[in-house]
Amino acid sequence: MRDLKHRWLLWGILAGLAFLSACRLYNLEKKLDPSDADFLSKVRYIITSEERKIFLELPDFDKPKFIEDFWKRRDPDPATEENEFKTEYFKRINLATQYFIGEGTPGWLTDRGRIYVLYGPPTEKTTRPMSGDVYSRCGEVWLYDIYPVVFVDQTCTGTFKLATFDLSMLKDINSMFGMTQADTRKTSSQEKKTFDFNADLKITAREPQRLEGMVVLELLYERIWYTSQGKKMWTTLETVLELRDAKNELIWSQKLSSELSLSEAELEDKSGKSYKIEVPLLVQDETKIAKLGQGKSLLQITMTNKTGGETVKKVLEFK
């Protein structure tokens, strides 16, 4: 009975953490400027949850580079000037906007629009007239080769809802260059898992002449890229931390290098576990501490995985 209570407590804690994380990302999304918000909205069908999290947590000045790399990862032929995937994706969004009007939302955001964007035009389309069956009074059936996708307008008012929920048979049929949303996620992570980390700042003492705290950085072992050397996997993580006041003046900084070395067995055993870096923060300057209370101060964290050269930046608001 005690074990069962502990499990329920653990599940409750995990659910609470997931809820807090979702709320934090939601609040970050609300603060996006119009161009970044438009990008995130337009790529909703193909962006992974990891990519979305990274994008939302990036400083504003790093978001354009993320967008550029986002499309590069999906370019089927980097040797050509045109990104065929990007061109086709936005072509389908524009066509869906023209075709599926009258549902009170942009055409590409409707159920029919989503399927059109992901799978393209059907090979055949049949419109069903009114019938006695309340669940199929009005509707459309799209055929992709021999596979049907059914949309139902139960009230016959022009609002069509997807009634086919298993789309696995469409995996390789007329989708975005063979990539549905799930396939895109697989492809973007097959070559290289997304490097990312979580950051937290804990203030333990705050006085007029002394500010003390701890910066805690955590990242999953499987999201770190390693170099194989003999029977060991190793890499170096370089981290730069900068605490700046509202005028962007540097208050505190720290640079550190963390070396990891594990056997393949050790790395496999650490699957799902996190590598933690703790960085003490100490400021003993009354003038600098006073500046932190004058407006919005930020802690900027830049981490580079030397194997692969990936760099991720995070910004925490200092409170």
At residue 63's C-alpha, the angle toward residues 60 and 66, to 5°, is 160
pLDDT tens, position by position, 119-169: 899 988 888 764 545 444 688 999 988 889 999 998 888 889 998 888 877
- For the cut 80, the answer to whether the pLDDT of residue 304 exceeds it is yes
Return d(Cα 152, Cα 162) in angstroms, integer. Answer: 7
- What token pair was written down for 45? 């069908």
Return the pLDDT at 190.
35
Domains of the chain are: 84-178 (no CATH), 198-318 (2.60.40.10)
pLDDT band for position 189 (50/70/90)? very low
Mean predicted lDDT score pLDDT of the chain: 82
Ordered DSSP codes for the chain? -HHHHHHHHHHHHHHHHHHHHHHHHHHHHHT--HHHHHHHHHTTTT--HHHHHHHHHS-GGGHHHHHHHHHHTT-S-TTSSS-HHHHHHHHHHHHHHHHS-SSSS-GGGSHHHHHHHHH-S-SEEEEE---S-TTSSEEEEEEETTEEEEEEETTSSS--EE-----GGGTTSSSBTTB-HHHHHHHHHHS-PPP--EEEEEEEEEETTEEEEEEEEEEEGGGS--EEETTEEEEEEEEEEEEE-TT--EEEEEEEEEEEEEEHHHHHHTTT-EEEEEEEEEE--HHHHHHHTSS-EEEEEEEEETTTTEEEEEEEEE-
- For the cut 60, the answer to whether the pLDDT of residue 23 exceeds it is yes
pLDDT tens, position by position, 234-283: 889 999 999 999 999 999 999 999 998 888 788 888 888 999 999 999 99
Q: Report the pLDDT averaged over residues 184-210.
A: 71
- For the cut 80, the answer to whether the pLDDT of residue 27 exceeds it is yes
The residue type found at 236 is T
- For the cut 50, the answer to whether the pLDDT of residue 90 exceeds it is yes
- What token pair was written down for 162? 């997807």
Where does residue 307 fall: left (phi above 0), alpha (psi -120 to 50 degrees), or beta otherwise? beta
pLDDT tens, position by position, 29-78: 888 889 999 999 999 988 888 888 888 988 888 899 999 999 998 888 88
Return the pLDDT at 7.
54
Between these two residues, 146 and 201, which has the higher pLDDT value? 201
Is the Cβ–Cβ distance between 197 and 312 less than 8 Å?
yes
Return the pLDDT at 94.
95
Is the Cβ–Cβ distance between 138 and 156 less than 8 Å?
yes
pLDDT band for position 175 (50/70/90)? low
Return the pLDDT at 21.
56
Between these two residues, 195 and 270, which has the higher pLDDT value? 270
Burial of 248 (0-12, 13-18, 19+ CB in 10 A): exposed
Q: Report the pLDDT averaged over residues 186-215.
A: 77
Question: Can you say how many angstroms the Cα of residue 4 is from the centroid of all Cα atoms in its chain?
Answer: 34
Residues 6+ apart with CB under 8 A from 190: none
Return the pLDDT at 266.
87
- For the cut 70, the answer to whether the pLDDT of residue 3 exceeds it is no
C-alpha to C-alpha distances, 195 to 29, 63, 76, 252, 310, nearest whole angstrom: 21, 16, 22, 26, 7
pLDDT band for position 215 (50/70/90)? very high
pLDDT tens, position by position, 280-298: 999 999 999 999 888 889 9
Residue given tokens 């950051």 in the structure block? 199
C-alpha to C-alpha distances, 65 to 72, 77, 90, 276, 312, nearest whole angstrom: 11, 20, 19, 27, 11
Residue given tokens 């939601």 in the structure block? 26
Q: Report the pLDDT averaged over residues 203-217.
A: 93
Return the pLDDT at 61.
86
- What token pair was written down for 9? 């407590």
Residues 6+ apart with CB under 8 A from 317: 296, 297, 298, 299
